């Protein structure tokens, strides 16, 4: 479903006619499920039932999304790599025991801009269960950390908050897509007070204009579908980043005490049983690590993924390139 939504919100096709885009979205869903079937296996009836459920969910989304999309997509399925600052000197990066910098990496499903030129991190969530309480979304740390990290990854960009785009298979009957197929949202070419023109290179630095409402939470719900926008204040995002920095600083402290906590759940699938036993038996660990393990390679950001590098065809520039798209 995430692969399908990546096509649905692909920036370069946002202004295209829905009759052209929606079949491509369905194809992306079918292709993704086909790859999973080849990888996992399964008999035909089970996979056909899965395919039917996925198509039903996607058709319900096609009918509902135009009523709640109040943004224009900027990037989809994009990795970020944020340098973690040194708490003692925020102008410098935190250094690990090996002398290398410490990075916080992750991926966002969608970066979008609203009618007030404010940027939002959008998370797609697909579930077979009822939606969680709204309070759980407010307390969810991963998306809040992504707001902080994205602001560091693209210096100067201020994220307004997080939007949770939730889809549940526990919806009702199949709903026909309106005869006038559309996708709603804000057209890429639509002008705004912040200058949302197709060739506006300043867009990645914009901090947005004050909105008419300052509500903390905005929520819309349909048939097995829910959209929750949670506004995050700069102070809240900064506090989340400060907590992350403190936690990472503790992780790399040389004087920190690590206490063992072996349990069947923790140890049954662990790949580090041998060095762990060596620690328990007071034996040297380094020879085991050198002989049987390899150092994790540096994380490489995948910039070739759909919508991962450009903002779309003719829509802005790649930061640091000095060239317009």
Tokens 């939504």 sit at which residue? 5
> What's the DSSP call for residue 310?
S
pTM of structure: 0.74
Six-digit token pair at 58?
């996607």
Neighbours of 163 (CB within 10 A): 23
Q: What would the pLDDT profile of 63-85 be if each residue is shown by its tens digit? A: 999 999 999 999 999 999 998 99
Residue-level pLDDT at 213: 62
Domain boundaries, the chain: 2-251
DSSP H or E segment with residue 147: helix 141-153
Mean pLDDT of the chain: 80
Distance, CA of 108 to CA of 148 (rounded, Å)? 12
Q: Which residue has the higher pLDDT, 59 or 177?
A: 59
Six-digit token pair at 71?
């943004």
- Using alpha carbons only, what angle is made at residue 2 by residues 31 and 202, rounded to the nearest 5 degrees? 120
What is the DSSP annotation of 50-76? HHHHHHHHHHHHHHHGGGT--EEEEEE
Q: Smallest Cα–Cα separation from 309: which of 48, 177, 45, 111?
A: 111
* Cβ contact 1:56 at 8 Å: no
Distance, CA of 195 to CA of 201 (rounded, Å)? 10
pLDDT of 61 > 90? The answer is yes
Q: Tell me the CA distances in angstroms from 132 to 135, 136, 137, one per residue in order.
A: 8, 7, 8
pLDDT of 193 > 50? The answer is no
Q: Tell me the CA distances in angstroms from 295 to 256, 286, 289, one per residue in order.
A: 22, 12, 9
Residue-level pLDDT at 89: 83
Percent composition of the chain: helix, strand, coil (DSSP 3-state, to 5): 35, 20, 45
Six-digit token pair at 65?
């999304």
DSSP H or E segment with residue 6: helix 2-8
CB neighbour class for 71 (10 Å; exposed up to 12, middle 13-18, buried from 19): buried
Looking at the chain, the whole-number percentage of residues with pLDDT higher than 70 is 78
CB neighbour class for 74 (10 Å; exposed up to 12, middle 13-18, buried from 19): buried
What φ, ψ does residue 201 adopt, rounded to 5°?
A: -70, -15
Q: What would the pLDDT profile of 134-191 be if each residue is shown by its tens digit? A: 999 998 889 999 999 998 888 778 899 999 999 998 766 555 555 455 677 787 765 5
């Amino acid at each position: 479903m995430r692969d399908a939504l990546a096509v649905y919100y692909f920036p370069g096709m946002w202004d295209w006619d829905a009759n052209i885009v929606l079949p491509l979205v369905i194809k992306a869903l079918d292709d993704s499920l086909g790859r999973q079937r080849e990888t996992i296996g399964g008999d035909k009836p089970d996979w056909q039932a899965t395919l039917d459920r996925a198509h039903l969910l996607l058709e319900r989304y096609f009918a509902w999304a135009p009523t709640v999309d109040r943004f224009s997509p900027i990037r989809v399925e994009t990795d970020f790599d944020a340098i973690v600052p040194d708490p003692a000197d925020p102008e410098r990066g935190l250094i690990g025991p090996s002398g290398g910098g410490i990075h916080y990496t992750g991926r966002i499903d969608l970066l979008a801009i609203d009618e007030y030129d404010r940027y939002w991190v959008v998370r797609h969530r697909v579930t077979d269960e009822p939606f969680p309480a709204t309070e759980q979304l407010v307390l969810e740390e991963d998306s809040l950390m992504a707001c902080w990290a994205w602001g560091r990854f693209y210096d100067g960009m201020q994220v307004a908050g997080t939007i949770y785009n939730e889809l549940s298979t526990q919806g009702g009957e199949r709903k026909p897509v309106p005869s006038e197929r559309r996708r709603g949202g804000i057209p890429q070419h639509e002008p705004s007070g912040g200058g949302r023109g197709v060739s506006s290179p300043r867009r990645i630095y914009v901090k947005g204009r004050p909105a008419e409402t300052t509500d903390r939470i905005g929520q819309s719900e349909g048939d097995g579908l829910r959209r929750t926008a949670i506004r995050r204040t700069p102070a809240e995002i900064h506090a989340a980043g400060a907590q992350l920095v403190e936690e990472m600083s503790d992780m790399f402290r040389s004087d920190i005490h690590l206490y063992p906590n072996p349990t069947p759940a923790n140890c049954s699938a662990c790949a580090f049983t041998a060095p762990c036993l060596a620690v328990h038996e007071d034996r040297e660990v380094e020879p085991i690590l050198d002989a049987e393990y390899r150092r994790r390679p540096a994380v490489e950001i995948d910039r070739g993924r759909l919508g991962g590098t450009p903002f779309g065809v003719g829509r802005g520039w790649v930061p640091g390139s000095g060239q317009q798209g």
